[in-house]
Amino acid sequence: MLLLRCPLLPLLLLLLPLHSRPQKLPTRDEELFQMQIRDKAFFHDSSVIPDGAEISSYLFRDTPKRYFFVVEEDNTPLAVTVTPCDAPLEWKLSVQELPEEASGEGSGDPEPLEQQKQQITNEEGTELFSYKGNDVEYFVSSSSPSGLYQLDLLSTEKDTHFKVYATTTPESDQPYPELPYDPRIDVTSLGRTTVTLAWKPSPTASLLRQPIQYCIVINKEHNFKSLCAVEAKLSSDDAFMMAPKPGLDFSPFDFAHFGFPADNNSGKERGFLKSSKFGRQTPPKPRVDLHRVCIGNKNIFTVSDLKPDTQYYFDMFAVNTNTNMSTAYVGTFARTKEEAKQKTVELKDGKVTDVFIKRKGAKFLRFAPVSSHQKVTFSLHSCLDAVQIQVRRDGKLLLSQSVEGVRQFQLRGKAKAKYLIRLKGSKKGASMLKILATSRPNKQSFPSLPEDTRIKAFDKLRTCSSVTVAWLGTQERNKFCIYKREVDDNYNEEQKKREQNQCLGPDTRKKSEKVLCKYFHSQNIQKAVTTETIRGLQPGKSYLLDVYVIGHGGHSVKYQSKLVKTRKFC
């Protein structure tokens, strides 16, 4: 498909900037392909995408870049993956028909340049796919037409790196490690300076027996969506870390730059802390609060030397050591335990605070309004299972309830009062929630919810290409967005339950999954119900539907997901 023999490459590069149709191109020569892939300079800063190899490149802000490849035969499988690194990208894939002289088997001899120019047209190709964002996004087709394919990329935020992978043999190549059925990272143990993580192994390692190693990334800012984004954040001297030696699993690297003083001998004992080139000491570079460590094929690991009472973000990447290509697990975050002397977290008036509670654990928070107040409002959003909340004012118990989803409690205020909040986690597993405390009236960050947050599907209104659903609203005018995602027929309730993190908003969804957004409310609570027909579905396919309600403060809450299936025959 894509790869060009060396004598044709200069000619193609002359024609491509003219947005032209190229000469007849040979199909993939596997022996030549392997030779040229080993020679990285062959595709460096080229506009040609090779078949079956990942390329890395650079975009200047507001300066578009275009890549080309050719599919010679109709009904060819095709997969294109674009990985943004440190900035969102806008990209689209389009195709133009090849000249009639270019279809069929080629002799491999280039046609005269003047004859090639006569075949050039400036027409725009047919757009196949487009995307805008910083997710790792892909285009997959089991049957693509022949033609000249164009991949256009643009970064409007800043100069940035990115990666592109394209192949005509996606079934056999599989360069990216496959994720397990549950791709989450579990926090199995939490201490003041340690966090133990566990995850399920990649099927690429356990079933296909391909060499996979796992790389953990730890930082205090946010989760990363790709290893490429991590490498863009790291400086060149900090980009790679050695695997921990036997006996050092619980202290694999130095976290001095997270706020701990470094041991005097640590640099001598660990060679990767030294910075030297050609026998000379290089000046130190500014450190970032981010570290990556690759630990081989283990699927449990304890990160140590962390700061107490500090929130860290953890990402896990499965790396195929044969291809050096990676796939991201679903990242997580955790707050290390407080020091014994500090038993409470201070809540700021009107500010949403993220709280993580380990299984069967508890968390204490304190709220002290700075001014006199008549009422105090506590708003909670439990992301997963129900949590227990107790509120005491100056030692007196005012509230003790179980909270699931979004709840708001309004208590009578008292001058110079201090409130102690105790949150107890679920017995089933770790709990995550968001809490807001305020003494200011009408300060509501979370949207109001009905008591029933289920989505109802009407079986009699199902067709081969559409489903009709309904859900309840409230008397408050809110924005509702509905999303759909096609799932396998064996998708079950257990899998759906694992995805019920209500704190994940629409910004985590792909643009292609969005159905619509609309505003809705009713002063009559008995009539606060809305229906929607979702069209354009495939016959006999299963879809997972999600409804998000977005409040005035921008915070979103997800209704319970609904699994629907279109009719197979109509």
521 shares a domain with 432: no
Give me the domain span that covers residue 361.
345-438
Q: Which two tokens stand for residue 410?
A: 């309004």
Full-prediction pTM beyond 0.85?
no
Mean pLDDT within 60-73: 90
pLDDT of residue 534: 93
Confidence of residue 525 (pLDDT cuts 50, 70, 90): confident
pLDDT-derived band at 570, boundaries 50, 70, 90: confident
* pLDDT in the model for residue 481: 94
Q: Per-residue pLDDT tens for 454-485?
A: 999 999 999 999 999 999 988 888 899 999 99
Q: Is 1 part of a structural domain of the chain?
A: no
**83 and 226 fall within a common domain:** no
Separation between Cα atoms, residue 520 and residue 448, nearest integer Å: 12
Q: Are residues 419 and 489 in the same domain?
A: no
318 plus 424 within the same structural domain? no
450 occurs within a structural domain: no
Q: At 485, which CATH number?
A: 2.60.40.10
CA–CA dist 455, 559 (Å, integer): 7
Angstrom distances, CA of residue 264 to CA of 71, 322, 418 = 60, 38, 44
Identify the band that residue 395 occupies on the pLDDT scale cut at 50, 70 and 90.
confident
pLDDT (tens digit, 9 = 90+) per residue, 168-185? 888 777 788 999 999 999
Q: Are 243 and 293 in contact (CB under 8 A)?
A: yes
Residue 437 has pLDDT above 50, yes or no: yes
Within 13 Å of residue 512, how many CA atoms lie on the same side as its CB? Answer: 11
Pair 311, 181 in one domain? yes
The domain that holds 414 is classified in CATH as 2.60.120.680
What local confidence, expressed as pLDDT, does residue 408 receive? 83
- The total number of residues shown for the chain amounts to 570
Q: Are residues 206 and 151 in the same domain?
A: no
**Which of residues 64 and 289 earns the better pLDDT score?**
64
Answer whether residue 315 shows pLDDT above 90: yes
**CA R_g for the chain:** 28
Section 475-503 average pLDDT: 80
User: 314-318, 341-345, 507-511: which has the highest mean pLDDT?
Assistant: 314-318
- Quickly state the pLDDT bin for 270 (edges 50, 70, 90): very low
Alpha-helical runs (H) found in 107-159: 113-118
Burial 57-79 (b: 16+ CB within 10 A, else e): bebeeeeebebbbbbbeeebbbb
**Res 383 pLDDT > 90:** no
Is the pLDDT at 2 greater than 70? The verdict is: no
Return the ∠ at Cα 71 (arms to 68 and 77), rounded to 5°.
Answer: 115
Q: Is 32 among the domain residues?
A: no
Q: Is residue 105 part of a domain?
A: no
In a domain, 244, yes or no: no
Cβ–Cβ < 8 Å for 78, 144: yes
Are 193 and 298 members of one domain? yes
Query: Would residue 414 count as lying in a domain?
Result: yes
Model confidence at 5, in pLDDT bands (50, 70, 90)? very low
Regarding whether 331 and 210 lie in a shared domain, the answer is: yes
Report the pLDDT value the prediction gives residue 263, as an integer from 0 to 100.
41
Q: Domain end: 382, 410, 438, which one?
A: 438
368 with 460, same domain: the answer is no
* Co-location of 374 and 336 in the same domain: no
Question: How many domains in the chain?
Answer: 4
Is 448 inside a domain boundary?
Answer: no
Cα(60)–Cα(38) distance, rounded to whole angstroms?
A: 27
| Same domain? 424 vs 503 | no
Same domain, 193 and 296: yes
Q: What are phi and psi of 235, to 5 degrees?
A: -75, 165
Instruction: Report how far residue 369's alpha carbon sits from residue 336's, in angstroms, rounded to the nearest whole number.
Output: 26
Q: How do residues 189-204 score in pLDDT, each as one tens digit? A: 999 899 999 999 999 8
109 lies in some domain: no
